Amino acid sequence: MVLDPETLTLSRIIWEYHQLHHTLQPADAILVLGSHDPRVAERGAELFLAGYAPWLLFSGGFGRLTEGTWTETEAEKFARIAQEMGVPTSQILLENQSTNTGENIAFSYRLLQEKHIPVRRLILVQKPYMERRTYATFLKQWPGEEIEIMVTSPQISFEDYPLDEAYRELVIHIMLGDLQRIQLYPEKGFQVYQEIPAKVWEAFEQLKRRGFTSHLLPST
């Protein structure tokens, strides 16, 4: 299915909202959140190899898109990618039990504590359309003292990100699900509040009417 220009324009509005464009600075560790997209692992490894932090932590067991599909956890697969890119095994940390973003954060904090690695500044690496939700979740779910965080993702445009039209459709479904959660999760205590501009929510409603609903919560 080839998506029409209006659908692509509406999707780009939501894609751009999800991205934060943080300026990166050297940090104490890089936390790469697991997913089905190996380009996230590559972005984390690139930042480590560029000297942004002395530790590269991969967090992720099996999520909704990798359960039953991958034979190794997201963290293990991502770590292998980083090793193949030249990251020393001695500087890689693995957390392979988490199944969602909140657990990524809580379990990674616990691992850093167990390894006695103090963290005052942290770089988070996620998919491009999950930057904002990751940021909002971290600010609510990090168990320790407040620290400085920066969020980044593979440096790929909306046009170039999908590998094919089927994947592009999947990305739109997921983006709407994440946007809905940004709206609903603060009142559940899962995330901090993030303002959603009217233009972004109108794009959400229009795409929802076009059938991009597979990743929405069942209550809507």
3-state helix, strand, coil in the chain (%, to 5): 45, 10, 40
pLDDT digits (tens, 9 = 90+) for 23-34: 999 999 999 999
For the chain, where are the E strands, in sequence order? 29-33, 56-59, 92-95, 121-125, 148-152
pLDDT digits (tens, 9 = 90+) for 188-214: 999 999 999 999 999 999 999 999 999
Q: Of the candidates 127, 149, 131, which has an alpha carbon nearest to the alpha carbon of residue 139?
A: 149
Q: Of the candidates 85, 171, 94, 86, which has an alpha carbon nearest to the alpha carbon of residue 127?
A: 171
Sheet strands side by side (includes 148-152): 92-95, 56-59, 29-33, 121-125, 148-152
Question: Is residue 2 predicted with pLDDT exceeding 80?
Answer: no
CATH 3.40.50.620 domain position(s) in the chain:
21-152
pLDDT of residue 164: 74
pLDDT of residue 66: 66
Question: Is residue 219 predicted with pLDDT exceeding 90?
Answer: no
Question: Is residue 220 predicted with pLDDT exceeding 60?
Answer: no
Entry pTM? 0.92
Instruction: Give Dmax over CA atoms of the chain in angstroms.
Output: 52
Q: 173, 213 in Cβ contact below 8 A?
A: yes
Question: Is residue 113 predicted with pLDDT exceeding 70?
Answer: yes
What length does the chain have? 220
Q: What architecture is domain 21-152? A: 3-Layer(aba) Sandwich (3.40)
The C-alpha atoms of residue 70 and residue 199 are separated, in whole angstroms, by 37
- Of all helices (H) and strands (E), which one includes residue 88? none
Question: Is residue 71 predicted with pLDDT exceeding 90?
Answer: no
pLDDT digits (tens, 9 = 90+) for 82-105: 999 999 999 999 999 998 888 999
pLDDT digits (tens, 9 = 90+) for 42-66: 999 999 999 999 999 999 998 766 6
Q: How sure is the predictor about 35, in pLDDT bands with cuts at 50, 70 and 90?
A: confident
